[in-house]
Chain A
Amino acid sequence: MIDVKKLLTSDQLWDYAGGVFPEYRKEQSRQLPIQPAWIPPFVRVPIRQHIGQSGNLIVKVGDHVLKGQLLTEPTHGMAVPVHAPTSGIVEAIGQTPSNHPSGLNEISLTIRTDGLDTWCERKPVADASTLSDNDLLQLIRYAGISGMGGAGFPTEIKLTPVNPIELLLINGAECEPYISADDTLMQALAEQVVAGIELMARLLNNPVVIIAIEADKPKAIAAMEQACADWEQVRVRTIPAKYPSGGERQLIQIITGQEVPSNGIPADLGVVVHNVGTAYAVARAVYQDEPLIARVVTITGNRVLKPANHWVLLGTPIDALLHHHGLDQLDPVIVGGPMMGYQLPHAEAPVIKTTNCLIIPSQDELPSADRQMPCIRCGSCAEACPANLLPQQLHWYALAEDQDKLNEHNLFDCIECGACAYVCPSEIPLVLEYRQAKAMIRSSRQEQLKAERAKQRFEARNERLEQEKQARAEKHKKAAEARLKAMADKPSSSASESSPDSATKQSAAVAAALARAKAKKASQQPQKTMIDAAGQTVPDNSDVAAMREARKAEARAKKAQKQSSSASGNGASDKSAAVAAAVARAKAKRQAQASSTEPDAQQPLAATASNAADDKAARVAAAVARAKAKRDAAQHSDAKPAVTAPSEEQPAADDKAARVAADVARAKAKRQAQQATDTDQKPQPTSAAEPAQDKAARIAQAVAKAKAKRAQQAAQDDSEQ
């Protein structure tokens, strides 16, 4: 454990391995004070802006929302709500480009602002000591606060200590070049930041607090030291400016000399790290009852006329924001710092809780990586790596996609800080390679898990099928036994006092019957299951396939029935349609059962159809009959060669015949469908008939299609045989 008391007095700082010293370029953006927020014509608020799940939407399109109003309800642990950043009307809820390197869409609310900026009702707490810890946590949770340094972890969860926390580390290092959001925030609002830190410290049972700020921010250091002058448990530490000192694990090492275990979290050491921006948001949420709806964003880069820090409403579209600041060419825009940020794929993406910086560089400000050379194993990357990895080895293994070696070289301890790629003389995009390698390993792990689950489910299913089969066999056997017993009971009661040899005869008969039943069962067994090489029985799809035909016919009949009933629903004679459908169904069933071809099947059907006075009913019946006929034709052609020509050419002949039949059937169906509509039009040239006609035609076509498909399948099956 860490000797926290010593941290308050000792001047010792530790160093971590590696690190680089990029040009900081922060001066340009910290000349001006933080600029006030601008209300864009509309805001786009993604419902998920942190690590974890989104809450449930509680507004709908058209609702008028007020500034600070809850838009999503955090229903579960890792959910963090979002709020309306200003008043306006919810215009749309849907997929819009995300502020994410992928540029994929995500669900967000588009709010048309009304410019009034009307607050919803607020209940500021003047004295936080009146609140219980739990109330305070809930307040933070409902204020939508998640880590504002980069990762966006829900703050409330980090403030609910699992282990006893002895050190609260406030991260004001801001080691990335260009960014000065935290710096200016600390300069301008140190009192509030410290108020937030006090609240955090209280929730963590008053641990020692250390505020770490890099040496290149003297004003912020002075402001913070002044703000917490009368608080004993706290100390502001100046740490050397080196990248990536602001990384959570590196900062812990600098301040305490301890390393967070590889798979652990800082809480394992009794340390919690929060960003100064987060502390400010907490204070704001408690003392002003103002949820997280705006943040400080550094807008900088050579193309920006007046680089500065701005308050920006969360959800402000970045393109609108930059246009507002007089920028027209928005390619490229870098979100975050130049070391760990990403190029924004779609400029219309919004500013979210983790967006701390927007860089709009000029052409030559940031070099584009197009002169990649082979790795010369110079080892600069290994010297720069703050996690003490061997980046060039990882590079080789990432190229080779050697997952074992990548794991062996602790790829997952890489924090993607970019120090290795920064120093690489061959300009190899190392970080990109590691991200891809990590993604590859993660997805293959995922796949492995999924395959394992699929296997379990498959085996469970097989077991179930086997059990069902056995249960059925058992039932049959029992029934047979019962029958035998019933039969045996009668003679035995009558001949109960007869000679003992009759008894043996009887038992012999029973045994014989049992044996017969068993033999029968055994003879059935091979048909139902396939016995594989290892003697394991596996369900065979062939019986399923055999039944398929019958079921298909049934389904067709059912569909025809449904269609006919819907067709007759037009107000025409329901009865005759129903009759026709019923007849058709019966026909289909019979045919399916017989599974043979009976050309005369059409006749009674046609007769029924002709009996029906109504046109529509007749049409339905005709369509069904046609379909039937087609099927018959198809089956006929399938069956014929099988009987007549069992020669070698049979499959080919089959195939051809089937195909021809199918084509003919299709053509016929089409023609007939047309005819049907034609004849329809004659007696009923009214406009009301048209939808009905359409439907009928569609039904006929659908049936024909199904038919054709089946014919084709049959043909295929044949050819495979």
Chain B
Amino acid sequence: MNLLSSPFTRQSLKTHELMRMVILCCIPGILVQAYFFGYGNLIQIALAAATCWGTEAIIMIMRNRPALRITGDHSALLTGVLLGIAVPPFLPWWMTVIAAVFAIGVVKHLYGGLGNNLFNPAMAGYVLLLISFPVAMTSWQPVAALSQHPVGVWDSLQLVFTGFSADGFSLQQVRMTIDGIAAATPLDTVKTDLHQGLTLDESMLKPVFGSFAGAGWEWINLAFLLGGLYLIYRRVTSWAIPGGMLISLFVCSAIGFAFSPDGTASPLLHLFSGATMLGAFFIATDPVSACTTVRGRWIFGALIGLLVYVIRTWGGYPDGVAFAVLLANMCVVLIDHYSKPRTYGHKEAR
């Protein structure tokens, strides 16, 4: 029996368990999302996860590595789940597959596999789609309560795989709200409205905004927040990145709101709409592509928060979490370099 080297005892939480825990903590958010947006996202999650897993297995076989053992770390599965959550529910299936293959094949394994990727694979796949198919990627249907044509499981499958529901409605028709306008996400709506000269209060009167930050979206965000808090409680992830991101986003939006309460979205809207909570607790916290020092993580989180605010306020896209995460990924090495902690016994961090 060879025990290699000290220490001979280890704590129990292993990498694959970490990954599994993160996936499990997504479940509340996924369920709430399914409640509001139908079965589309469940289909997307299944599709993306399966594609990611399969891609990784094939690549491992091609690289003559133990495919089962490596895919057993659940990291590809997690990428797939996050991607599936992020894309619109009725995105054509092949787009999801492209994004999943790109995320695992290019972003993860071309860089050397687990632990070596510079960018968050799920977000890179998402952004690939966002740039290539901007219309499809921003086509969210209204929450079920507001929808003109509620969709069932069968409809959802048909929509994803053929583009038409079982009743023959196209995606565009499905997206119609009861008042006959094509639906947009709350962030999209507020952006368009503010652009058109409406004040925030006027915009907020629309049904899409629900009780405080968007019908459905506010609850989805709360559910992800819940899952994220559990992750922190179990010490799977640390406070630094989500804390940094949420505080920074809050501070930015609060400043903006203080200066122009009519012309910008409120902090509440920023925090509980779009992919804020998902991004803060599940996407930005991907350890591989994030900073590693404690100080660096606060900075990294804060940078994402800032970028999210900037993109949402002035950018061309309604939401900016994916872009913000990727941009912050690029800064990781720099942040790490300048946030090295002071080593014991040294006067200054070198």
Contacts and interface: CB of A to CB of B under 8 A. Distances in A.
Decide if A and B are genuine partners. yes
A161 B66 CA distance: 59
B63 interface: no
Contacts, number: 158
Interface stretch (A386-394, A554-562, A591-599): A386-394
B116 interface: yes
Q: Is the interface of A mostly helix, strand, loop or mixed?
A: loop
Contacts of A421: 6-7, 10
A429 B10 contact: no
A260 B292 CA distance: 26
Contact of A22 (B9, B18, B115, B344): B9
B288 A429 contact: no
A636 to B, nearest CB: 63
Contact of B343 (A16, A361, A388): A388
Contacts of B312: none
Contacts of A389: 341, 343
A442 B340 CA distance: 24
Interface in B161-175: none
B5 A435 contact: yes
A677 interface: no
A425 B14 contact: yes
Q: Which of A249, A379, A418 is the most central at the interface, judged by chain B CB atoms within 10 Å of its CB?
A: A379
A261 interface: yes
B60 to A, nearest CB: 13
Contacts of A410: 343, 346, 350
Contact of A374 (B17, B115, B293): B115
Nearest to A336: B6
B14 A376 contact: no
Contacts of A424: 10
A407 to B, nearest CB: 10
B18 A425 contact: yes
Interface stretch (A1-9, A38-46, A310-318, A364-372): A364-372
Given A338-B8, A376-B115, A382 B346 contact: no
A377 B10 contact: no
B6 A341 contact: yes
Contacts of A336: 6
B298 to A, nearest CB: 12
Contact of A369 (B4, B75, B115, B336): B4
Nearest to A259: B345
A375 interface: yes
A244 to B, nearest CB: 11
Nearest to A387: B344
Interface in B316-350: 336, 340-346, 350
B15 A432 contact: no
Interface string B286-309: 011010111001000000000000
A336 B5 CA distance: 12
A423 interface: yes
A427 B7 CA distance: 10
Contacts of B64: none
A413 interface: yes
B158 interface: no
B181 interface: no
Given A377-B288, A379-B293, A388 B7 contact: no
A419 B6 CA distance: 10
Given A374-B113, A376-B288, A429 B344 contact: no
Contacts of A369: 3-5, 10
B11 interface: yes
Contact of A373 (B13, B73, B342): B73
B287 A432 contact: no
B343 A425 contact: no
Interface in B1-46: 1-11, 13-18
A535 interface: no
Contact of B11 (A16, A422, A426): A422
B7 A413 contact: no
Contacts of A374: 113-116
A378 interface: yes
A263 B9 CA distance: 30
Given A379-B292, A392-B292, A342 B344 contact: no
A388 B344 contact: yes
B4 A368 contact: yes
B341 A432 contact: no
Contacts of A332: 1-3
Contact of A334 (B3, B18, B341, B343): B3
A426 B13 CA distance: 9
A351 B291 CA distance: 46
B8 A366 contact: yes
Nearest to A370: B4
Given A377-B292, A378-B18, A431-B7, A390 B1 contact: no
Interface string A166-206: 00000000000100000000000000000000000000000
B6 A431 contact: yes
Interface in A293-338: 331-332, 334, 336, 338
A86 interface: no
A664 interface: no
B199 interface: no
Interface string B208-222: 000000000000000
Contacts of A363: 1
Interface string B175-199: 0000000000000000000000000
B343 A387 contact: yes
Contacts of A425: 13-15, 17-18
Contacts of B148: none
B114 A338 contact: no
A262 interface: yes
Given A331-B1, A408-B350, A16 B6 contact: no
Nearest to B4: A369
Interface string B106-136: 0000000111100000000000000000000
Given A376-B115, A427-B14, A422 B344 contact: no
A343 interface: yes
B238 interface: yes
A500 interface: no
A577 B289 CA distance: 88
Contacts of A460: none
Contacts of A334: 3, 8
Contacts of B9: 22-23, 177, 338-339, 366-367, 422
A376 B3 contact: no
B292 A17 contact: no
A366 to B, nearest CB: 4
A78 interface: no
A685 interface: no
B5 A376 contact: no
A711 interface: no
Contacts of B8: 334, 338-339, 341, 343, 359, 361, 366
A388 B346 CA distance: 10
Contacts of A426: 14-15, 115
A423 B115 CA distance: 17
Given A366-B3, A374-B114, A429-B4, 17 more contacts: A17-B341, A261-B345, A334-B8, A339-B6, A341-B8, A359-B8, A368-B3, A375-B115, A376-B114, A376-B288, A382-B294, A388-B342, A390-B292, A410-B350, A416-B6, A422-B11, A435-B5
14 contacts: A249-B344, A339-B8, A341-B6, A363-B1, A369-B10, A374-B113, A378-B287, A379-B292, A408-B350, A413-B343, A413-B345, A426-B115, A431-B6, A431-B7
Interface of A: 16-17, 20, 22-23, 177, 249, 253, 259-264, 331-332, 334, 336, 338-343, 359, 361, 363, 366-369, 371, 373-379, 382-383, 386-390, 392-393, 408-410, 413, 416, 418-419, 421-427, 429, 431-432, 435
**What are the 3 closest A-B residue pairs judged by CB atoms, nearest first?**
A418-B7, A432-B5, A374-B115
Interface of B: 1-11, 13-18, 73, 75, 113-116, 238, 287-288, 290, 292-294, 297, 336, 340-346, 350
